[in-house]
């Protein structure tokens, strides 16, 4: 499983959400609303014998605005819904993946995330990935 390809495919899946900018990497500049696909932590090797499969957990951050902006809270809710046109879970779980076998959003939490000295209201989505270990 090529993790960079997986990150790109997750970004492509999220990119179907209208009005949401997407970067398949950590960016030091953001323009909310924006999704960032973060490096996996951890990557687990050899889930099955003979390098059969590996797994990884990564986060997708969706930043909607400064933590003190009332509109940031209003914008964040629909991204956290389990389904719907702006649902991150629905977009990622329904994506098309060739770089891995399985991609599932397992949880979301609200955080204040600092990027370039600015605190943003964000949702951090945990994404579980399983793929070929070869």
- Mark residue 65 as left, alpha or beta (left: phi above 0; alpha: psi -120 to 50; beta: remaining): left
How many Å separate Cα 6 from the centre of its chain? 11
Span 42-75, pLDDT tens digits: 999 988 888 889 999 999 999 999 988 889 999 9
- What's the CATH number where 17 sits? 3.30.70.1700
Structural domain harbouring 28: 3-132
Question: Rounded mean pLDDT of 19-42?
Answer: 95
Count of structural domains, the chain? 1
Mark 52-66 as b/e (b = at least 16 C-beta within 10 Å): ebbbbebbbbbbbbe
**Residue-level pLDDT at 14:** 98
List the one residue out of 82, 81, 128 whose CA is nearest residue 101. Answer: 128
Tokens representing 42 are: 């951890």
């Amino acid at each position: 499983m090529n993790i960079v390809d997986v990150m790109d495919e997750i970004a492509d899946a999220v990119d179907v959400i209208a009005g949401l900018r997407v970067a398949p990497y950590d960016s030091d500049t953001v323009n909310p609303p924006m999704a960032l696909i973060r490096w996996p932590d951890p990557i687990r090797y050899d889930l099955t014998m003979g390098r059969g499969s590996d797994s990884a957990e990564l986060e997708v951050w969706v930043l909607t605005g400064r933590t003190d902006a009332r509109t940031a809270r209003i914008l964040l809710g629909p991204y956290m819904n389990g389904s719907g046109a702006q649902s991150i879970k629905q977009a990622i779980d329904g994506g098309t993946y060739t770089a891995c076998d399985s991609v599932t959003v397992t949880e979301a939490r609200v955080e204040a995330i600092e990027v370039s000295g600015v605190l943003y209201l964000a949702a951090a989505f945990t994404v579980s990935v399983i793929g070929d270990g070869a």
